[in-house]
């Protein structure tokens, strides 16, 4: 599959680049995609929800009344989970939800996601660009000229560019990632993937190991 390379003003440079089928033309593996997305979403969980059980609630050390003779149920503490102000039964406790995924599966999932985008013609190549200083207006103009100002878009950069990151963070539906650090979820969560021309080599290098 050959794609045109666009300028930041929305016009074509006249150059066409062939996408390597080893990354953008494989047989997609849906199960690998599912594993990668579930792993990422699960690892985002902080797992710091916490409640106090009967041993952690303050007070309740003295037996509230004698064992027998009052004609009511026995009670050993006023902090019983059955009482108002008592501890909580089986409440959530801090937990590590982190799970791992095989590196080969992770690479396969990203290649599968990129293949789906390529099949749907949702990948655009753009010439390398940068800003002298962070300016949201400049980034918004580029997206407008590419006719993607109202489309959920992922931009993959060849190298980390702080000015581009800062210029993009206040634009709705636009996210910027490095070509070597994007995830399967990043690709699936976007409608269009824009790849800088020089970022292709990094993607090939990362995903062809």
Every domain of the chain and the residues it spans: 2-45+101-207, 49-96
Express as a percent the part of the chain with pLDDT over 90. Answer: 82
Predicted pLDDT of residue 70: 92
pLDDT for residue 67: 94
Give the pair of three-digit tokens for residue 96.
Answer: 């590590």
138-163 mean pLDDT: 91
**Amino acid 1: pLDDT:** 80
C-beta of residue 19 within 8 angstroms of C-beta of residue 115 = no
Q: 116 is written with which tokens?
A: 């789906």
CB contact at 8 A, 88 and 52: yes
Give bridge partners of residue 156 from the DSSP assignment.
Answer: 177, 195
Q: What is the pLDDT of residues 50-107, one digit of tens each?
A: 999 998 999 888 999 999 999 999 999 999 999 998 999 999 999 999 999 999 999 9
Written as six digits, the tokens of 169 are 């963070």
Question: Has residue 125 got a pLDDT over 90?
Answer: yes
The two tokens of residue 44 are 């985002």
Q: Where are the alpha helices (DSSP H) in the chain?
A: 21-24, 30-43, 103-119, 136-145, 162-168, 184-188, 199-207
Answer whether residue 191 shows pLDDT above 80.
yes
Which uninterrupted H or E stretch holds 194?
Answer: strand 192-196
Give the C-alpha separation, 156 to 160, whole Å.
10
- pLDDT of 208 > 90? The answer is no
CATH number corresponding to 2-45+101-207: 3.40.1370.10
Quote the percentage of the chain above a pLDDT of 70: 100
Q: What is the pLDDT of residue 60?
A: 87
Contact residues for 189 (Cβ-Cβ < 8 A; gap 6+): 152, 154
- Find the mean pLDDT for residues 29-33: 96
Given a cut of 90, whether residue 174 has pLDDT beyond it is: yes
pLDDT band at 160 (very low <50, low <70, confident <90, very high): confident
pLDDT band at 150 (very low <50, low <70, confident <90, very high): confident
Which of the four pLDDT bands, split at 50, 70 and 90, describes residue 159? confident
CB-count exposure of residue 115 (10 Å: 0-12, 13-18, 19+): buried
Q: What are the helix (H) ranges across 26-169?
A: 30-43, 103-119, 136-145, 162-168
The overall average pLDDT reported for the chain is 92
């Amino acid at each position: 599959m050959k794609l045109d390379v666009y300028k930041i003003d929305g016009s074509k440079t006249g150059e066409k680049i062939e996408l390597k089928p080893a990354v953008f033309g494989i047989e997609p593996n849906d199960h690998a995609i599912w594993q990668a997305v579930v792993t990422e979403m699960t690892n985002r969980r902080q797992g710091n929800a916490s409640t106090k059980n009967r041993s952690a609630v303050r007070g309740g050390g003295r037996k509230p009344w004698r064992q027998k003779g009052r004609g009511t149920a026995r009670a050993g503490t006023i902090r019983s989970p059955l009482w108002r102000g008592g501890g909580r039964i089986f409440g959530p406790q801090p937990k590590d939800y982190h799970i791992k995924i095989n590196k080969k599966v992770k690479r396969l999932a990203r290649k599968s996601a990129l293949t789906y985008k390529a099949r749907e013609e949702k990948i655009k190549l753009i010439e390398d660009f940068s800003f002298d200083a962070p300016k949201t207006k400049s980034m918004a103009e580029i997206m407008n000229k590419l006719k993607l100002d109202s489309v959920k878009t992922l931009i993959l950069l060849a190298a980390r560019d702080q000015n581009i990151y800062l210029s993009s963070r206040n634009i709705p539906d636009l996210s910027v990632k490095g070509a070597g650090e994007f995830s399967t979820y990043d690709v699936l969560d976007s409608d269009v993937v824009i790849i800088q021309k020089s970022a292709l080599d990094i993607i090939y290098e990362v995903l062809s190991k």
